[in-house]
Amino acid sequence: MSPMLQDKVAIITGAGRGIGRAYALRFAREGAKVVIAEVLLENAQKVAREIEAAGGTAIALQTDVSQETSTNEMAKKTVERFGKIDILVNNAAIYYGLPRKPWHTWTVEEWDRIFAVNVRGVWLCCKAVAPYMQQQKKGKIVNIASGTASGTPGATQRLHYATSKGAVITMTRLLARAMGEHNICVNCIAPGATMTEASLAGLDAGGSASLKSSTAQARCIKREEVPEDLVGAAVFLSSEDSDFVTGQILPVDGGSWLR
């Protein structure tokens, strides 16, 4: 089978660890040149080295998605290095170790910090790559939301995070409308609770075991979700196989939430 993303140039934000890292490794195996746009430079460099060691092509760019100068620089440096931008995966978010607290106890500062990265960051990255995609009259944007935006039990305890992911879903639909005339597809993946360092951080051993078993039991497919469960959907939505799919939200969660 031929690689699905041969010679495509893909920016993946927040790909220094967790699910973003899994996207980056797989995109490189599918023939893409990968830009790891990550606020933690050392992590980004580590993933880029992993890709290079396996025979792929990748660069690490220190990027803070919440800052417009940084996202513009991300797009500019990508084009300087690889000549174009075909794919943007908006994976970066503040999620690591978010505690669970009653919804009214979060502070304004905590609320704003989540929205600056998880919502403004997605918008700024789209804004930065759009001129390049429009110029080539083609592009793929894959946003990452979350099952929490559908009102999963427990999401009230991270109200700001779940609401930010709801905004990502709305932005996906509206940007699909706005960019369709340029042949740019904008879609979204909504992962279920996935076993990453970030989702387990902050939970003690007991909490972690109970989260794992309760989420697995609520699914049609009764097992834990791992980062590799998400990569097939991301590759499909970034490939030419999905050229007539836009504005869609694809839950990848083993059937946790059936509508």
Ligand X SMILES: NC(=O)c1ccc[n+]([C@@H]2O[C@H](COP(=O)([O-])OP(=O)(O)OC[C@H]3O[C@@H](n4cnc5c(N)ncnc54)[C@H](O)[C@@H]3O)[C@@H](O)[C@H]2O)c1
Closest CA to 233 of 244, 218, 248, 219: 248
Among 17, 26, 158, 160, binds ligand X (CB under 6 A): 17
Question: Is residue 92 part of the contact set for ligand X (CB under 6 A)?
Answer: yes
Tell me how far, at minimum, the Cβ of 28 lies from ligand X, in Å: 17
Name the DSSP letter for residue 189: E
Q: Do 187 and 144 meet the contact criterion of CB atoms below 8 Å apart? A: no
User: Which strand (E) or helix (H) includes residue 70?
Assistant: helix 68-82
CB of 144 to ligand X, least distance (A): 4
* 219's tokens: 């699914």
Tokens of 83: 């000549």
Any contact of residue 150 with ligand X (CB under 6 A)?
A: no
Residue from 24, 28, 36, 39 touching ligand X (CB under 6 A): that is 39
Assess 65 for contact with ligand X (CB under 6 A): yes
Contact pick of 28, 117, 125, 129 for ligand X (by CB under 6 A): 117
Report if residue 172 touches ligand X, rule: CB under 6 A: no
Residue 161 annotated as catalytic: yes
Total number of residues that touch ligand X (CB under 6 A): 32
Both tokens of 64, joined, read 């803070």
Which CB, 60 or 184, lies closer to ligand X? 60
Among 20, 56, 139, 254, the residue binding ligand X under the rule CB under 6 A is 20
Element (H, E) at 211: helix 205-217
The least distance separating ligand X from the CB of residue 168, rounded to whole angstroms, comes to 8
91 near ligand X (CB under 6 A): yes
Q: 180: how many CB neighbours lie within 10 A of its CB?
A: 13
Q: Determine, following the binding rule CB under 6 A, whether residue 146 of this chain makes contact with ligand X.
A: yes
Asked if residues 190 and 93 have their Cβ atoms less than 8 Å apart, the reply is no
Residue 19 binds ligand X (CB under 6 A): yes
Task: Let me know how many helices (H) and strands (E) the chain has, helices first.
Answer: 9, 7
Under the binding rule (CB under 6 A), the answer on residue 12 touching ligand X is no
20 vs 56 by CB, closer to ligand X: 20
Binders of ligand X among 184-243, rule CB under 6 A?
191, 193-194, 196-199
Nearest residue to ligand X, scored by beta-carbon proximity: 18
Instruction: Please give the backbone phi and psi of residue 32, each rounded to the nearest 5 degrees, phi first.
Output: -80, 150
Q: Any contact of residue 115 with ligand X (CB under 6 A)? A: no
**Shortest Cβ 149–ligand X spacing (Å):** 9
Provide long-range contacts, Cβ within 8 A and 24+ apart, for 244-247.
245/185, 245/187, 246/176, 246/180, 246/185, 246/186, 246/187, 247/172, 247/173, 247/176, 247/177, 247/186, 247/187
What single-letter DSSP state applies at residue 38? E
By CB under 6 A, name the binding residues for ligand X: 13-14, 16-20, 38-40, 43, 63-66, 91-96, 117, 121, 144, 146, 191, 193-194, 196-199
